[in-house]
Amino acid sequence: MRLLVAVLFIAFVSYTQSAVTLPCLRGTNLSGLEFGGATPGKFNKDYTEPTQKEIDYFTGKGMNIFRLPFLWERVQPDLNGALNDTYLGYIQNFVTNANAKGAYVLLDVHNYARYRGGVIGQAGSGVTGANFADLWSKLATAFKNSPRVLFGIMNEPHGMATELWLADANAAIAAIRSVGATQTITVPGNGWTGAWAWTSSGYGTPNSVVMLGVKDPLNNFLFEVHQYMDSDGSGTHNTCVNATIGSHRLEVFTVWARQHGFKALLGEWAGSDDATCMSAISDMANYMNKNKDVYNAWTWWSAGPWWGSYMFSIEPQCGVVDAPQLTNLLPYLKC
């Protein structure tokens, strides 16, 4: 009996251990393609694309991954329809240029589990899990021969049942694998995928319970969590609670992920150049490097050509001077 229990335990552990084989990845979001809302808009008026100059600048600083937010409505103007060649071309061009510099690209459908405002799979929304799967079958087909691409299936689901989000996520994963794409997939939780709320029931059944049901036949996925350091964790204030708030807020997710053998990508985190935030940034980056068995990758929020004076932007000041937050991050880019 003891031998049987031991064999079953070993089998269970080997199944739950992540099959992700990516190197340690540290980088930033590069915004622009998601600007301007869900309407199509006009290129270089309502939205834009990150530039080669930015790719060169950030890879030159030691970053090796970019999270690239874009909108479902622009890449696929009609549900189940063809991908828009022009908008897809902006994404493909960025991937080609970033990969040429040795960097990975995380494709981020920046839609909050919605399409034109309709929640994926929710009754009466007009958007189904099958529609979501169709999007990802087409995106995965377009990029399945690009090994330095990761598939970020959705940005910050919220305002829905966690069980519904799991069903949507599994539909997307199945669609990606069905076309032969083998790259790593990043899977967010419900409730804005906040690390600090991973075990909370404030948004429904906790992610810590429901997201154990993620199904990937290749077991090649990362959980994507986000974490800000202001009072409500929203990332809308220029002050941080204290100098260790970031690492403190990551702890509950870290324990859960390690317990179940999962790896993670911290897709969004940031602080202003306020003195307390600067200390908190260093503390949080150091925490992730000390726990790199869990935090396989992180991408700062944010950079991009149109951020201007945005408090979290790490675009170079006057085009040449490193932002204070970037200077703070430099020692932690190698792990």
| CA 34 to each of CA 64, 80, 139, 334: distance values in angstroms, whole numbers, following the listed order | 21, 20, 16, 29
Q: Residues 237, 241, 242, 248: is their CA dihedral positive or negative? A: negative
Q: Which candidate in 34, 49, 73, 156 is catalytic?
A: 156
Q: What are the residue ranges of helices labelled H in the chain?
A: 2-16, 52-60, 72-75, 85-100, 129-143, 162-178, 207-210, 245-260, 275-290, 324-329
What six digits make up the tokens of 289? 């490097």
Query: Does the annotation mark 156 as catalytic?
Result: yes
* DSSP assignment letter at 126: S
Listed as own residue / partner, the contacts of 287-292 with beta carbons closer than 8 Å and 24 or more positions apart are 287/246, 287/247, 287/250, 288/250, 288/332, 288/335, 289/332, 289/335, 291/250, 291/254, 292/24, 292/335
d(CA 90, CA 2) in angstroms, rounded, equals: 58
Number of Cβ atoms within 10 Å of the Cβ of 275: 11
d(CA 206, CA 217) in angstroms, rounded, equals: 24
| CA 2 to each of CA 8, 37, 113, 247: distance values in angstroms, whole numbers, following the listed order | 10, 59, 46, 39
What six digits make up the tokens of 167? 């069903």
Using a 10 angstrom Cβ sphere, with 0-12 exposed, 13-18 middle and 19 or more buried, the burial of residue 289 is middle
Angle at 295 between CA 284 and CA 255, to 5 degrees: 85
Q: In the Cβ-directed half-sphere of 215, how many Cα atoms lie within 13 Å? A: 11
Q: Which candidate in 49, 73, 268, 315 is catalytic?
A: 268
Using a 10 angstrom Cβ sphere, with 0-12 exposed, 13-18 middle and 19 or more buried, the burial of residue 253 is buried
Active site residues: 156, 268
